[in-house]
Structure 1
Amino acid sequence: MKKHTLISFLLVLVTASLLFGAGVQEQAEAQAPQTVLEFWTWRPEDVDFYAKQIALFEAANPTIKVVQTAHKNTEYNTILSASLSGGAGPDVFQGRAYGGLATFADSGFLEPLEAWMPELKNYSATAVLGATSPTDGKVYGSPAVSQTVFMYYNKDMYKEMGLSIPKTWAELIANFEAAKKAGYIPLGNGAKDGWCLETMVGGMGPSLYGGTAFFNDVVAGKKNFQDPAFIAMVEQMKSLTKYMPDMYMGISYEDMRSNFFNELSPHLIAGSYEAAYFKTQNPELNFDIFAVPGPKATDPAYVSVYADMNFAMNAKSKNKDAAVKFLKFLSSKEFGKAMVTDLKMVTSVPGVDATSDPFIARVLELQKNATPYLFLVGFRYQQPTGSSLWQAAAQGVMAGTLTPAQAAKQVQDGIASYYKPFQK
């Protein structure tokens, strides 16, 4: 009996030891130190999308935790700059493109990525251009998406009013008149936020001022913003105020979007980034898109296209190895496909088939007449930027305090203060 008792006692000790060891191991795993990455975006409307993607990343990388913070887009640059200037800020974040990226890169805030991410060599030259600083030629972002600016229209309202997609500027105005007669706000755009007027000219301007030919000429200094075609385009933009909401100078970005997804207006000039948001706000909304036409049906109907977003790394991040893992995830085909299917955006990630989504397929169709987004692509590298000059001048035009010719001169003089091709 004593022998059996001893054996039983030993078995109990061994079992207890194994259970204790397993418990210690589980506790150690549970308490294993995690690398915490701070990730910032400027799109609060996409928080749920990124939360879902972050969960996928964390499942595959259990030692890394990603904390997402979304700031309002109009406040993002100021908050990000202040944080990075203080030596803090996020590890990984949505970065702007072109001059917006160059400003942060030239300030030493961004980590050059080519050594960390050799796969960047597979991206298109157009996408990489938006992630490259012209100062040193280094790539400081992983290109995420491009955006296209055009006209959204409500298909059900068009059917109700017996309208078709306009092929000339005169036909577009006739559609506005029909919408006004039917009791709708013909064009949902407003002028409270200056950047929305840059979007507006991106959507309705190129087919009137001459598209890519004008862009190339003005960048080369062969033409300038006092060109008659550009001034005539501004005059046409001003003429649209009679179709915009009452007190349009007080209509904000959020008001504009609400006008469209609440079906108060059949038209909105906006970017491709709005599509997923519209469907979230009104799942029954039946909309499509078209390129604003020029004076003649034979004129190219242009859409403005630009590299919108790069995923960047803080040069002072203390977690660069983990940050690169997250950047590579954000640059994967799986993530790029999710951007297409969930956010209805044109991904910059190579090798992603975007045509399976009907909306993106339509965007790509319109891009056959793509032209660079004028002030963003060409004149946002030095101060005062072309964008800031245009936004202020455009608000003056829409409010009636500046004539189109005065606005054009204001933009021209501001850019000419530093842009050598305009100083000849």
Structure 2
Amino acid sequence: MRLAVAAVALAAAVTACAPSTTASAGHQGKITLSVWGWGPEANFDKMFAEYEKLNPGVDVDARSFTTSTEYDTILSTGLAGDSGPDLAWLRAGPQLQPLVEAGRLLPLDTKDVPGLADFDEGVLRAAKGDKDGKVYGVPFAVQTLQVIYNKKIFADNGITPPKTYAEMLASADKLKAKGVIPFAFGGKDDWMLPIVASIFGTAHWGGDEFLADVKAKRKKFADPRFVEGIDQLNKLKPYFPENVAGVSYTDAQILFSSGKAAMFPGGLWELNFFGENAKDVELGVFTPPTPEGQGLMPGFTDGSYGVNVKTRHKAEALKFAAWLASKDYGRLYTDTLRIFSAVPGVTPEDPLLAEVATAFDQHGATYFMNEFAYGNPSSAAVFSKALQEMLLGRLTAKEAAEQLDESVSTWL
């Protein structure tokens, strides 16, 4: 297997890997399936090598792009021409639809991918076309959003995961007094703002019930409960790094990894990152409580593997897709990436993952932004900018919510 890291210009990235190109020297007689995605290359190496052992006539040539932000443009360009991959990681829900409507992807069914029959409908919905209801990908992950904390810093300061909102603030005050940044968070990369707002705010606005009311046009985001939820970013600002709007996502990761910050509000994907980059830090997780009591843990389906409609090896690509829907791959994915596989029936062996799974089963909710990411510009992009302006003091929480309502009204 060859796994290239695509840090080159778009044109070079697209032309470098045509679908199902014949094997090069050293791979004579093999069929090459190209797969595009993002993330650490070692993870793809480990997982796809298992498929190659079971299928010695196939070489999986996976290409990992350096950042997920550039990936959308590269993939769209590749699929539009003749130089795209055989299979690719696809975005979920709203971000999937442009590729579906352009006819770039092969619809999948249970005849070719039997495992799809066992997927939860809520998970599978993120891989479907909105208009035709067909499945266009094998979902690969379910992400949860929570606060990750440094167990040693908590123990050294006599702090335990808070059970009440007042306790959370008291712990943050105690840490700050000791010179420890309570929450490592940055607002410079605005895509993180709805995520963190959701971590602290979902229970404030009532989780899925509120989202259903917005979709049914019974309520708007300017509702006082939603405004209160996103206003948590303002109320917690004293516990964020100084000049939080100028702190990048990477800066926040470094603050936590280095032990300068005690907590990191973020996605489940951070466990693997901190496990690799902060090996001496023992991690814990908790769901922030609200003044009313129990908090909610937001979650979402994080994309799928789709098949290029132009693949020259359709049968082999579909066979690979069927393996991606299997429990064997699901266990590999969970153990390798320390993230929940979307494949049903896969139980995490990692104790911390198991703890998160229990919490999500008991107090899970839908991550609101993925449900309202349609539009051009997308409502997610509009609201991310509005939250950034709110952090800078240029908008109130209510004004930010009103901007989201205005954007949503253009497509809902």
Q: Distance in 2 between matches of 1:252 and 1:267?
A: 16
Match of 2:46 in 1: 52
- The secondary structure found in structure 2 opposite 1:193 is coil
1:406 equivalenced with 2:379 (yes/no):
no
TM superposition shift of 1:146: 0.3
CA 1:88–1:31 in structure 2 vs 1: closer, same or farther (change >3 Å)? closer
Match of 1:322 in 2: 316
- The secondary structure found in structure 1 opposite 2:127 is coil
Match of 1:20 in 2: none
Match of 1:334 in 2: 328
TM superposition shift of 1:234: 2.3
**Cα displacement string for residues 307-331 of structure 1 (whole angstroms, at most 9, x for unaligned residues):** 0121111111112222122222222
Letter in 2 for 1:53: M
Which of 130, 146, 150 is the aligned partner of 1:154? Answer: 150
Contact 2:31 2:57 in 1 (8 A): yes
Which of 164, 169, 172 is the aligned partner of 1:168? Answer: 164
Q: Percent identity at matched positions?
A: 31
User: For structure 1, which segment, 136-145 or 216-225, has the greater mean C-alpha deviation from structure 2 after superposition?
Assistant: 216-225
Letter in 2 for 1:360: L
Which of 58, 82, 88 is the aligned partner of 2:83? Answer: 88
Q: Distance in 2 between matches of 1:168 and 1:80?
A: 45
Which of 118, 121, 126 is the aligned partner of 1:122? Answer: 118
Letter in 1 for 2:120: S
TM-score (norm: length of structure 2): 0.89
Q: Distance in 2 between matches of 1:255 and 1:216?
A: 36
Match of 2:70 in 1: 75
**Cα displacement string for residues 122-180 of structure 1 (whole angstroms, at most 9, x for unaligned residues):** 11111111111111000001111100001111111111111121122222121111111
Q: Distance in 1 between matches of 2:314 and 2:394?
A: 50
Q: Distance in 1 between matches of 2:207 and 2:47?
A: 38
Q: Distance in 2 between matches of 1:177 and 1:82?
A: 49
Stretches of structure 1 that go unaligned for 5 or more consecutive residues are 1-28, 420-424
TM superposition shift of 1:237: 1.2
1:370 equivalenced with 2:361 (yes/no):
no
Match of 2:277 in 1: 281
CA 1:198–1:31 in structure 2 vs 1: closer, same or farther (change >3 Å)? closer
Which of 32, 38, 63 is the aligned partner of 2:57? Answer: 63
Q: Distance in 2 between matches of 1:307 and 1:202?
A: 15
Match of 1:11 in 2: none
Q: Distance in 1 between matches of 2:178 and 2:26?
A: 64
Q: Distance in 1 between matches of 2:36 and 2:26?
A: 27
TM superposition shift of 1:60: 2.1
Superposed, which structure 2 residues align to 1:182-331 within 5 Å? 182-297=178-293, 300-331=294-325
Higher helix share: 1
Which of 74, 81, 104 is the aligned partner of 1:109? Answer: 104
**Cα displacement string for residues 37-63 of structure 1 (whole angstroms, at most 9, x for unaligned residues):** 2111122x3x11210122222222222
Match of 2:9 in 1: none
**Cα displacement string for residues 85-144 of structure 1 (whole angstroms, at most 9, x for unaligned residues):** 234311111111111222221121111011521321111111111111111000001111
Q: CA RMSD in A?
A: 1.7
Superposed, which structure 2 residues align to 1:375-390 within 5 Å? 375-376=369-370, 378-390=371-383
Q: Distance in 2 between matches of 1:89 and 1:290?
A: 41
Letter in 2 for 1:245: P
Q: Distance in 1 between matches of 2:343 and 2:335?
A: 14
1:344 equivalenced with 2:342 (yes/no):
no
Match of 1:393 in 2: 386
**Cα displacement string for residues 200-224 of structure 1 (whole angstroms, at most 9, x for unaligned residues):** 1121111222222212211221111
Contact 1:38 1:69 in 2 (8 A): yes
Match of 1:24 in 2: none
Q: Distance in 2 between matches of 1:282 and 1:197?
A: 24
TM-score (norm: length of structure 1): 0.87
Letter in 2 for 1:239: K
Letter in 2 for 1:92: L
Q: Distance in 2 between matches of 1:296 and 1:202?
A: 16
Paired residues, number = 385
- The secondary structure found in structure 1 opposite 2:140 is strand
Contact 1:151 1:203 in 2 (8 A): yes
**Cα displacement string for residues 208-245 of structure 1 (whole angstroms, at most 9, x for unaligned residues):** 22222212211221111110111122222122222211
Contact 1:340 1:360 in 2 (8 A): no
Contact 1:147 1:273 in 2 (8 A): yes
Contact 1:207 1:292 in 2 (8 A): no
Contact 2:37 2:64 in 1 (8 A): yes
- The secondary structure found in structure 1 opposite 2:359 is helix
CA 1:370–1:246 in structure 2 vs 1: closer, same or farther (change >3 Å)? same
Q: Distance in 2 between matches of 1:87 and 1:405?
A: 47
Q: Distance in 2 between matches of 1:308 and 1:348?
A: 9
User: For structure 1, which segment, 321-330 or 143-152, has the greater mean C-alpha deviation from structure 2 after superposition?
Assistant: 321-330
Q: Distance in 2 between matches of 1:365 and 1:119?
A: 24
TM superposition shift of 1:381: 3.4
Q: Distance in 1 between matches of 2:244 and 2:26?
A: 56
CA 1:397–1:58 in structure 2 vs 1: closer, same or farther (change >3 Å)? same
Match of 2:22 in 1: none
